[in-house]
Amino acid sequence: MNGCDDLKFGDILRELLEENELSQKQFAEALNISAGAVGNYVRSNREPDFDTLKKIAGFFHVPIDFLLDYHEETDSDYRDEKLLQIFHSLTEEQKDLYLEQGKVFVRSNSRKRGGSSPFGAGNRVV
């Protein structure tokens, strides 16, 4: 997500569609709603009813609060969920590489801040 404050539902939905490389038509078919309704949501001409909102949240694996831009911390929750989705889609070998790369980032950040890495001596992640 772009991190802007006070996003409209349509902006959030548009970003989710782009991030997931879905057309409005594909999304509408997946949720069994009309493409016109999705277009209205994306243009912020209309907002979905509660049942449709629940379907959308479930489809993207995000909390309803995130779709409504209700809480700031949901951006972090969303990123965590996306990282998990990516991780679960990898092969076992790729997962090992992904974890090692993450450790490199943590160590680099720790050095920049002058702190110790949670993965330093004796703190190995299995």
pLDDT of 124 above 60: no
Distance CA 123, CA 13 (A): 40
Angle CA(84)–CA(87)–CA(88) in degrees, nearest 5?
A: 85
Residue 14 CA: distances (Å) to CA of 9, 33, 84: 9, 16, 22
Please name the amino acid found at residue 119.
F
Higher pLDDT, 50 or 80: 50
Domain boundaries, the chain: 9-70
Across the range 79-104, mean pLDDT stands at 89
Are the CB atoms for 30 and 59 separated by under 8 Å?
Answer: yes
pTM: 0.55
Q: What is the pLDDT of residue 33?
A: 96
Q: Where are the alpha helices (DSSP H) in the chain?
A: 9-19, 24-31, 35-42, 50-60, 64-67, 73-88, 92-113
For the segment(s) 9-70, the CATH number from 1.10.260.40, 3.30.1490.20, 3.30.70.3270, 1.10.10.10 is 1.10.260.40
- What confidence score (pLDDT) does residue 29 get? 97
Percentage of the chain surpassing pLDDT 90? Answer: 49
Query: Torsions phi, psi of 6, nearest 5?
Result: 55, 50
Those residues with Cβ within 8 angstroms of residue 37's Cβ, 6 or more apart along the chain or in another chain: 28, 46, 48, 52
